[in-house]
Each structure stands twice: as structure tokens, then as C-alpha cells.
Structure 1
Amino acid sequence: MDKDQKDLFDFAYNLSGTLRRQLSELYSASHTLLDGEKREDDPILDGKAAAFDKQYFAMVRLMENLSDVRYLDMGALLPLQYGDLVTLVGDVCQKSQSASGRTIVFRCPEAKVVWGMNVKGIERALYHLLSNSLKFSQDAVEVHLSQQQGQVVLSVTDSGCGMDEKAVAAALALPKPTDVYTAVNGGFGLGLPIVQAIAAHHGGTMTIDSQRGKGTTVQLYLPKTDRSKICVGDVEAMPYITKSGFNPTLIQLADALPSEAFCLRNQG
């Protein structure tokens, strides 16, 4: 990362905090007007309010993606602790399937895989990949977790439109400062670079196997972590706006879900 990019990402991170606060106030004000009891009794009103909520949640997701630029700083320390990957990945898949109404198949040959990881980082990486798969494919999404040759392999596979080699390279390239004003498919084009950076923070790598018209498989390879690098005690949680009583998965997948997913019954 060169100096111009680092300056840009520092600005983006600081900007995201300010915009999140403004969005939170907007959300509170809108729901003062869109009374919850009236929404429960009036499906038409609930549908109109859900369309607004989809746009709100999509904006919050963009702000969280701006916050995620911190992962792109490879000089920063990402604290690692032992945790069960099967529980973490299975939970994200279950929540994503429930929110999207789509089939997400999770397969792992083991009942438990205790691994050194940053829980929030792995969770964010998986949500980025699931969002892409749900957005570009109408069929089931498959998630696989296994141990191979002393490392964990986490993969997400879809049967969507796929990418050629040039598109894959473009998707992995960090945006230039001059590109900051250009949104890509409703985002900033940061998703896959962030996922790749999260893998690198774990000492691992990411691969993309994709062909036009034949879908995409993204694999994260996470090696065992030296015990000396495992944090003892609580790890400070990264600040997000998704702790407000509604379903946070709706934010993580906002740009991949229909407005019906944001009806009041789904937000608890």
C-alpha cells in the first residue's frame, strides 16, 4: 500500500464513523414516523417501510466496508484467539440462509475445528463472500470447511455469472485515489481485497477459481497459528453500528436481498 492509498483509507475510515452516526440518527427519526405497531397491522405500510430500510441498511453496509479498510493495513496487528471455526461458519451460514430465503449448504467433515483466528475478521470475510454469491447467483451457495496439510481451507462456491482472468485481477486490485468516487455494483470494489487481506493477517492466502458462465469458488487457506501469537484475555471488539436490536445479518447482506427481507417481522 503506497502513501496515497494509506491516506485515502485513513480518510475513509474516519469518514465512515461520522456517516454512521448521521445514519443512525436518520434511522431513529424515520422510525418515529413509521410506528412499529402500525407496520405490524398494515402490510402495505410495512412493505413501503421495508423498501426504505433496505436502502438504509445498504448505506450502513457501505459505511462498514469503509471501516473495513483497516484490514488493508498489513502493518497493523490483528489479534488472534482460539475459537471453533465450525460453530462460527455454521452460524453465519444459518443466519444468511434465514435472512435471504436462499439455500446455503455448509459442509465440514469434522464436528469441531479449534483454530487461531480473529473472529470478527473471519466473520466479515465470510459475509463479504456470501453477499457476492447471493448477488450474482440464483442457485444454492456451498460453503466448505476442512483441514488439509496442516491448514484450514474455507471455501464459498456459487454457480453465478463468473469472471475471466482480467475481471478477477481487477476485482483484487486496490482502488486508486482517483477511483474513490466510482461505485462498483453498489459498493466501492473493496470486498475481495479486504477478504484477501484478512487471510493474509492470519498468515494465509486466498485463491479465486472462476470462469465466465460457470460460477466462482473463493478459497481461504489459514495455517496454524504459533501459540506465541495467540492473545490471552478479551480482544477488543471492532466498533460497528449493527448492535441495535435488529437482525445484523440484514446489513451484511443488504445489497443481495430483496426489499421483502426487510419487513418488520425479519428485523428482530
Structure 2
Amino acid sequence: MKKLSIKIWSLITLFLLITVIFMGFFTNFLYDQLYVKDSEESMIEVGERLQSNYKGGKVTDEFVEKVEDVNMYSIFNIFAVRNPKELSACVPFEIDYDTLIGPEERSDLLKGESVTKIGYEKRFEREVISVILPLTDQNRLEGIIYIYFPLERITELANKEVLILIGSIVLFSLIIAFFVHKGLRHIMRPLNELQLAVEKMSDGNYGTRVEVKSEDEIGKLSKTFNEMAAAIQREDEDKKTFLATVSHELRTPISYVKGYSEAIQHDLIVGKEKEEAIQLIHREANRMERLTNELLQLARTSKETEKIDMYPVVLSETIRESVNLLKNQAKQKELQIAVDVDEGLIVQGNDEKLMQIMINVIENAIRYSFEKTTIRVLIQQIEGNAMIQVIDHGMGIPESDLPHITEPFYRVNKARTRADGGSGLGLSIVKDIVKQHDGTLTIDSEIGKGTTVTITIPLLEE
């Protein structure tokens, strides 16, 4: 693959080549239209002035002498002859009479029109322009005025100025090439740095950054690269943390199950202790099953491409069903769940997913509420949305933890055991499901007073 600098140099060279070719054609155009045309018009003008002195009849010697007098002071070579064939004796080069004045030219001369000829002459080693003007009387060609002028070459028109011009062009091109080279190096430097940074990133060095040196497109590209690198680095760190956390979460129940099962297998535990060990194995197996299911659920809901079946759902029915499933858990802590719903609210959603949201949120409220308190579940319509609020009276969440509470495996109290705390995945799953329903999730809390979880989901459009 060619380097970008080579492509730019090729493009500049192409433009210069096109410019040179254009200037060549343009110079020839100016030569033909200005110099040659001007010479022709001047010759015709001189010839017509002399022609006006002819009064008809035979061409006199006096007229011929007058033309010769003009010839002595003119820049053009001018002759008047009675017979065109006499021109061979007047001009210093050979003239083909039949070519010079053929039938067509003779017809034009008899009409009183001038004839212009341009051709290369070896004698002068250049183009020669000639103008023939007729001397007619009663439709008879009594003679002609012949004017010729060797045209100068384009290079001769400017003489030394051409060399100066060419030298100036070469010098200017070298100066431009120098500054273009410097400019390209300056432009390409950050691009080269970006290329090296990308190569480092591809090798797994996600801490790579490039210096942003400007506010132009390349500067913006560098800034975007740094933002992308930071995002990839965060994602990589999150992935490592996630895997480490999953391993840690599974290691504890697996060690319990393995240790107690081996003890039972070798009859190291008997009687009541054996029953307790079996119960512990069962509990830890359930915890591993629940954690695995939550991980699978989190993986599914995190996929932006995943589409869920959406249909009209009566929200009050989903809420009541979720509360009924959790009543026994609430009774164990002597908690009351008060439900206040608007019966007419219908949303476009998935009943199973919405129930999963409510179970996770209410279960958290039960787990962290103070005993003998009331959990309130409120549903009302707010500006085209169904607003669900779950309000508990419990330990609350520190303000510093609120921004991270929906991150996978995040726990407010790091010292809590797996038995009295959740897996840390519930709110992550809730956040993703709410997002799938085009809704919002906000959590407000105050230490020692409780937490309010607010969810809004768009109502079904009528």
C-alpha cells in the first residue's frame, strides 16, 4: 500500500503537469491570436493604404516605385508587380505560383479580397506570413501588392526574458517543493504517530495515547482516537474485573460443595452435622444456579441487537403478580408491601421482562429494609409515561455509591456475605431491561432512611 505522502506528491506532480500542458496550449493560443493575427492585420492595413493609391488601368512604374519607397521604411517586405510570376525575381526564396495563386485565390482577388498565406520557409528557417492584395480594374487583375514577413518564434519574442522566466519557474518550483515537503512532514507526523499507536493497540497495549497538537481534522482524529483508546481500556479492565468477580463468586460455593461433599463421601460428617452439610450444599448449588442464570440474562439483555417481543401489558396486573410472589420473603422480616396503582395504565412491553424488573427491585427493598417497616409500590401516569416507584425504609445507599449501583457485581457493603447480600447483578439486569423498553431508571437514597427506585416506561399510544 502506498504511503499517503507519496499519493499527495503524485497528486501535486499531476497538477503541475496539467498546469504545464495547459500553459503550453495557452501560449500557442496567444501566439496565434495575438502575434500572428496582429501581424496579419497590420500587413493588410499597410497594403490597403497602398492599394488606395492605385487609380485603375495599367500598373505604372511610378506606383511600383512608390511601393518600393514604402518598403524601405516598413518592417514588412512589400512589392508591387504587374504579373505575379515576377515575384520570383523580387523575393529571396522560391515561390510556387500555382500554389500561391490558385483558382480559388484568383477568384478571391478578382472580388477585391486579400489572400493570406502562412508556411514554413527553409530560407528563413521559420514560418513566413504573406498577404496578397489585388490591383483590379474592370474585373481584370492588373497586378498585385505582395507583402511578406518572417514570423518570430515564441522563444525569440522574449529573448533573454524567456531564460529569466524559465529560471524563475525552476527556482520557484524548488522553493515550493521544499515547503510542500516540510508541510507534508508536519501534516504526516501526527498521522504516523496515530499509525504507531494503532499498532500498539492491536498488540494489546490499551494505555497508548497520542498527543493532540491542533484543533483541525487531524487534531480531532487524535482526540477521537484517545477517547476510543480510553473506552477500549475501560472495557478491557471491566472485562477483566468482571471475569475475576465471576470467578470469585463461583469459587466460594464450589469450594463449599466440593469440601462438604467429600466429607460426606468419606463419612467424616455424620448425624445432625451431615444434615446441615447437605442443606449447605443445596443452598450453595441454588446460589450457583441463580448466579449462572443472572449472568446469562445479563449477557442477553446487554446485546443491543437483541429484540424482545413487545405487546400491550396492563401494568397493575404485572405489579400485583410480582408482589404476590415475594410476600413470603416480606413476612420473614415482618414487612408490609403497600400497592397503590392506576388500574388503567397500559404499556407496550414484555410482561415477563417487566415482572423481572419488579421482582429484582422489590426483592432488593425487602433485603435492605428495616424489620417491621412498609414497602410502598406506587404507579401513576406522568406526561405520557407510567411511573413506577418502589420506596423502602432501610439502611440506604451512600451518595458516592449511587453512580455505580447498576454496575455488574457492585456491592455497597463490601463486607456483606453472599448469604445476606445479592449477587450484585440484579440492578444491572433491571437497567438493561428498562433500556429495552425505552424507559428510564433513577435511584435516590439517604443513609438510615431508605431508598426510592423510580422507573418510567412510555404508555401505549392510543
Return the TM-score normalized by structure 1: 0.60
How far residue 82 of structure 1 moved from its aligned partner, in angstroms, is 1.1
Residue type at the aligned position of 1:66 = L
CA-based RMSD: 4.0
Q: d(CA) in 2 for partners of 1:222 and 1:149?
A: 11
Residue type at the aligned position of 1:118 = N
How do 1:232-247 residues align onto structure 2 when only pairs under 5 Å count? none
Percent identical across equivalent pairs?
A: 23
2:359 maps to 1:127: yes
2:292 maps to 1:60: no
Label 1:99 to 1:54 Cα distance change in 2 as closer, same or farther (>3 A).
farther
Aligned to 1:168: 402
Q: Which runs of 5+ in 1 are unaligned?
A: 31-43, 177-181, 228-268
Q: d(CA) in 1 for partners of 2:444 and 2:293?
A: 27
Give the match's secondary structure for 1:221.
Answer: strand
How do 1:76-225 residues align onto structure 2 when only pairs under 5 Å count? 76-101=306-331, 102-137=334-369, 138=371, 139-174=373-408, 186=418, 187-225=422-460
Give the match's secondary structure for 2:452.
Answer: strand
Label 1:50 to 1:77 Cα distance change in 2 as closer, same or farther (>3 A).
same
- Answer whether contact 2:338 2:377 (CA < 8 A) is retained: yes
How far residue 222 of structure 1 moved from its aligned partner, in angstroms, is 0.4
Could you give the per-residue CA deviations for residues 71-126 of structure 1, whole angstroms, max 9, x where no partner exists?
A: 12233223211122111110110120134424342423433432211122111111
How far residue 174 of structure 1 moved from its aligned partner, in angstroms, is 4.8
Aligned to 2:105: none
- Answer whether contact 1:207 1:220 (CA < 8 A) is retained: yes
Which structure is richer in relative contact order (CA contacts within 8 A, separation 6 or more)? 1
Give the match's secondary structure for 2:326.
Answer: helix
Give the match's secondary structure for 1:79.
Answer: coil
Residue type at the aligned position of 1:84 = V
Residue type at the aligned position of 2:351 = V
How do 1:2-17 residues align onto structure 2 when only pairs under 5 Å count? 4=235
Residue type at the aligned position of 1:170 = H
Residue type at the aligned position of 2:355 = E
Q: d(CA) in 1 for partners of 2:317 and 2:279?
A: 31
- Answer whether contact 1:204 1:222 (CA < 8 A) is retained: yes
Give the match's secondary structure for 2:379.
Answer: strand
Q: d(CA) in 2 for partners of 1:78 and 1:107?
A: 28
Aligned to 2:178: none
- Tell me how many residue pairs correspond in the alignment: 199
Label 1:201 to 1:91 Cα distance change in 2 as closer, same or farther (>3 A).
same
- Answer whether contact 1:82 1:115 (CA < 8 A) is retained: yes
Q: d(CA) in 2 for partners of 1:59 and 1:136?
A: 22
Label 1:204 to 1:82 Cα distance change in 2 as closer, same or farther (>3 A).
same
Give the match's secondary structure for 1:172.
Answer: coil
Q: d(CA) in 2 for partners of 1:202 and 1:130?
A: 19
State the structure with more CA Rg: 2
Return the TM-score normalized by structure 2: 0.37
Q: d(CA) in 2 for partners of 1:208 and 1:193?
A: 13
Aligned to 1:242: none
- Answer whether contact 1:87 1:112 (CA < 8 A) is retained: no
- Answer whether contact 1:125 1:195 (CA < 8 A) is retained: yes
Could you give the per-residue CA deviations for residues 160-183 of structure 1, whole angstroms, max 9, x where no partner exists?
A: 11112211112123569xxxxx99
